[in-house]
Amino acid sequence: MKKMAEKIDEKPQEKCSYGAPIICYKKTVCGDESWVLIQACCNHWDCNRCGIVRAKQEYWKIVNGAQALSHWQHNLFFLTVTCRGGNLTKSESEESYLEWTDKLNTSMRNHASSKNIYWSYVAVTERQKRGMPHSHYITTFCPIDGINVTLGTNTTIRSEWLQNAIIRSGLGHIYDFNRIRSAAAVSRYVAKYLFKESLHTEWPHGWKRVRYSNSWPKSEYEGKSTEAFAIVKKDDWLRLKKIAYDGERVSTSDKIIHTMAQNRGYSVSLRELNIV
Return the percentage of the chain with pLDDT > 90, whole number.
Answer: 44
Amino acid at 39: Q
Provide the b/e sequence for 138-154 (b: ≥16 CB within 10 Å): bbbbbbeebeeeeeeee
What pLDDT score was predicted for residue 203? Answer: 80
Quote the mean pLDDT of the chain.
Answer: 85
Please compute the mean of the pLDDT values over residues 229-248 and round it to a whole number: 86
What pLDDT score was predicted for residue 273? Answer: 60
* More reliable by pLDDT, 175 or 241: 175
Please compute the mean of the pLDDT values over residues 206-210 and round it to a whole number: 85
What pLDDT score was predicted for residue 225? Answer: 63
Amino acid at 217: P
pLDDT tens for 81-117 read 999 877 889 899 989 999 999 999 999 999 999 999 9
What pLDDT score was predicted for residue 7? Answer: 45
User: 74 near 65, Cβ under 8 Å?
Assistant: no
* More reliable by pLDDT, 176 or 8: 176
Taking the whole predicted model, whether its pTM rises above 0.85 is answered as no
Domain boundaries, the chain: 2-47+224-263, 53-212
Looking at domain 53-212, which of 3.30.43, 1.10.490, 2.60.40, 3.30.70 is its CATH number? 3.30.70
| Confidence label for 266 from pLDDT (cuts 50, 70 and 90) | low
Between CA 178 and CA 159 the distance in angstroms is: 11
Between CA 230 and CA 75 the distance in angstroms is: 42
| Confidence label for 146 from pLDDT (cuts 50, 70 and 90) | very high
